[in-house]
Amino acid sequence: MAGLMNQEVDIFPDQLKHIVAERIGKDKKREMEALEKLGLFSEIPAERHYSPLETLIPQFAKSLAFSPGERDLVVLNHDIEAQLPAGSVELHRISLVAYGDADGYSAMARTVGYTCAFRIPFGHKPSEMMNFRRHRIPHDS
């Protein structure tokens, strides 16, 4: 955070908080609380990695980890639009609600993992899956 504010890394956390509050606006108390809860004003220096994002990942893994017995929730709504050969359009909504297991996998891990596991047998390499933007199923007119 200090580097993003053009400050020395050994700046005191309270000074850094003041500088950040000045930058984002002193009325942004909720935002400042969120940054503090994420551990971005910690006195313990972060281990530097290749990019700011990669530096934040270990910090967020600690500050955002589930507490014992805590679980997550995933809610997905997919709107599927199909253009029929006659020219009419149908809209279908597919919804998914998944709850994480308190002592098992999170809902996020399961829903992402199942999707990946489903795609790979169909000839999609994991590296290719990152390039999917929009799925279209061609049909003969």
pLDDT tens digits for range 28-41: 888 888 888 887 77
Query: Which range in 26-35, 36-45, 51-60, 102-111 is most confidently predicted, on average pLDDT?
Result: 102-111
Q: Calculate the average pLDDT of the chain.
A: 77
Q: How many whole angstroms separate alpha carbon 110 and alpha carbon 106? A: 6
**pLDDT over threshold 90, residue 73:** yes
Task: Give mean pLDDT, residues 93-115.
Answer: 86
Environment class of 63 (CB within 10 Å of its CB; exposed 0-12, middle 13-18, buried 19+): middle
**pLDDT over threshold 70, residue 72:** yes
Percent of the chain with pLDDT over 90: 11
* pLDDT confidence band for 25 (50 / 70 / 90): confident
Report which of residues 121 and 44 the model is more confident about: 44
Residue ranges of E strands in the chain: 73-83, 89-99
Q: How many whole angstroms separate alpha carbon 113 and alpha carbon 107? A: 10
Give the residue among 9, 112, 123, 124 at the shortest CA–CA distance from 55.
Answer: 9
Q: What is the reported pLDDT for 120?
A: 61
**pLDDT over threshold 90, residue 97:** yes
Give the residue among 68, 75, 63 at the shortest CA–CA distance from 33.
Answer: 63
Q: What is the reported pLDDT for 75?
A: 92
Please give the structure tokens belonging to residue 66: 């589930």
Percent of the chain with pLDDT over 70: 74
